Amino acid sequence: MKQLLTFTAIIFLGMIPISSVSAQTPTDHLMMPKGTLCNFLGYSTSRWDNYWEGANKRINENIGTFKTENILFMAALGVTDKLNVMVGLPYVKTSSSASYLAGQQGIQDFSVWLKYNLIEKKGDFGTIKAFVTVGGSLPATNYNTDFLPFSIGLKAKTASGRLILSYANKGFYATVQGGATLRSNVEIDRNSFIFNNKLYESNIMPVPNAADGSLTLGFANTRFQTAVSLDRFGCLSGDDIRYNDMPILTNKMEQTSVNWFGRVNLGHLSVIVNAGKVLNGRNVGEATSLGGSVLYWVQIFNKAKKADK
């Protein structure tokens, strides 16, 4: 039986804004059947006290506990059984317990992805699937970006591609996937900045491109699903946060995290909870995250065929 699209909500929080996250979301091994529309609304929050300044972990009394909250709306449609289209739009809010700097909030980047099921092979050995996802994102609002860690996003336009391979047998499954994200340079409000220990008198900041990968192990049946994943995100270039300075968009952000989610299906409705922790990183916060979300699916076309099944 075909499963609904699952939003694993693997979200990089803290100093890695959601733009990198959005490209992460269509990462599972399942497809929406033709004619099915799935709406997703999720809330998640993350906190960190420690962060990595370059490779050095530190605390900063002037920040205290840094908190990011986001509300993510997504929708996915089965155009065909093999092709899904997805859109996402997050609202993000940042704050810190000790800083006098103004927390930021607002609608971040609009994302769209196409997901195609390249290969599906079922047999006694189980099911093998391969998917390719391509997508992109654009800032949905003119938010303040050169204000990390408080900025709600990097404001870069992105294009991403990923390959997902999965194996499932008797409800158990394993997914491995890797992706790359090209990120545009970003126009900032000031017209000079230090990058790689050199002063640039320009208002165009180079935002490094990024790659990510993850390994997921899970179990799913018609009522219930749970999975754990080990996730790695890394910029492909960039510099470190200068000693005792603020992070900026040029920084080479990297992190390894573990994430878990559980899901219960109640007819057309699913309830999901997720949690994650950053294990190590570079130029990011040591974030712990928690989230909850609901998704609701409806058959909007291809109803007859669906009924036949």
Partner 1 sequence: MPFDTEGGILKSKKLLKMKKISVLYIQFFVLVLVSTLINACQKTAETTELEAYLPTNLDETGGSWKPFLVTSGTDITVASPTATTSAEYQAELAAVKTAANGATAEQKAAIKYWSAGAVIRWNEIARDLAAQYNIPPKNNPDGTYPAPDANNPLAYPRFPFANPPYASRAFALLSVAQYDALIATWKYKMQYKRSAPYKVDATLTPSVPKSELPSYPSEDAVVAAASRELLKLLFPGEAPLLESKATEHKNSRIWAGANVQSDIDAGEALGKAVAAKVIAYAKADNMSKANAQADVPKLRDDATKRGITTQWTSRDLPARPPMLPFFGNVKTWNFDSATKVAIRPTAPPAVGSADFNKALDELRAIAKNRSREQFRIASFWADGPGTYTPPGHWNRFATELIYKYKYSEIRAARTLALMNTAVEDAGVVCWDVKYYYLLPRPTEADPSVTTSTGIPNFPAFTSGHSTFSAAGATVLSYIFPNESAALNAYAKEASESRIYGCIHYRFDCEIGLTHGKKVGDYAVNRGKADGSGL
Residue 4, CB-side half-sphere exposure with 13 Å CA sphere: 29
Cα–Cα distance for residue pair 205/139, rounded to 1 Å:
16
Question: In the bound complex, what is the minimum distance in angstroms from residue 207's beta carbon to partner 1?
Answer: 8
Q: CA 60: distance to chain centroid?
A: 26
From residue 44, alpha-carbon distances to 10, 92, 274 in Å are: 10, 10, 8
Binding mask 255-274 for partner 1 (x = CB under 8 A): --------------------
Cβ nearer to partner 1, comparing 234 with 292:
234
Handedness of CA 80, 83, 89, 90 (dihedral sign): positive
Candidates 207-215, 261-269, 271-279, 293-301; binding stretch for partner 1 (CB under 8 A) = 207-215
Candidates 44-52, 75-83, 96-104, 263-271; binding stretch for partner 1 (CB under 8 A) = 96-104
Cβ nearer to partner 1, comparing 27 with 270:
27
Cβ nearer to partner 1, comparing 183 with 263:
183
Cα–Cα distance for residue pair 26/287, rounded to 1 Å:
22
Cβ nearer to partner 1, comparing 160 with 255:
160
Question: In the bound complex, what is the minimum distance in angstroms from residue 265's beta carbon to partner 1?
Answer: 30
Report the residue from 1, 100, 304, 308 that binds partner 1 according to the rule CB under 8 A: 100
Question: In the bound complex, what is the minimum distance in angstroms from residue 96's beta carbon to partner 1?
Answer: 10
Q: If you count them, how many residues does the chain have?
A: 309
Q: Which of 28, 261, 35 is nearest to 133 (CA)?
A: 28
State which amino acid sits at residue 42.
Answer: G
Binding mask 50-89 for partner 1 (x = CB under 8 A): -----------xx---------------------------
Residue 245 binds partner 1, judged by CB under 8 A:
yes
Candidates 6-14, 27-35, 144-152, 264-272; binding stretch for partner 1 (CB under 8 A) = 144-152
Q: Phi and psi (nearest 5°) for 156?
A: -80, 145
Structural tokens at position 114: 């196409």
Q: Which of 52, 32, 48, 29 is nearest to 40 (CA)?
A: 32
Question: In the bound complex, what is the minimum distance in angstroms from residue 82's beta carbon to partner 1?
Answer: 14
Question: In the bound complex, what is the minimum distance in angstroms from residue 9's beta carbon to partner 1?
Answer: 25
Q: Which of 158, 238, 139 is nearest to 193 (CA)?
A: 238
Q: In whole angstroms, how large is the CA radius of gyration of the chain? A: 20
Cα–Cα distance for residue pair 164/129, rounded to 1 Å:
8
Residues that bind partner 1 (CB under 8 A): 61-62, 98, 100-103, 118-119, 121, 123-125, 130, 132, 142-144, 146-147, 161, 163, 178, 180, 182, 185, 188-195, 197-202, 204-206, 208-209, 211, 236-238, 242-246, 250
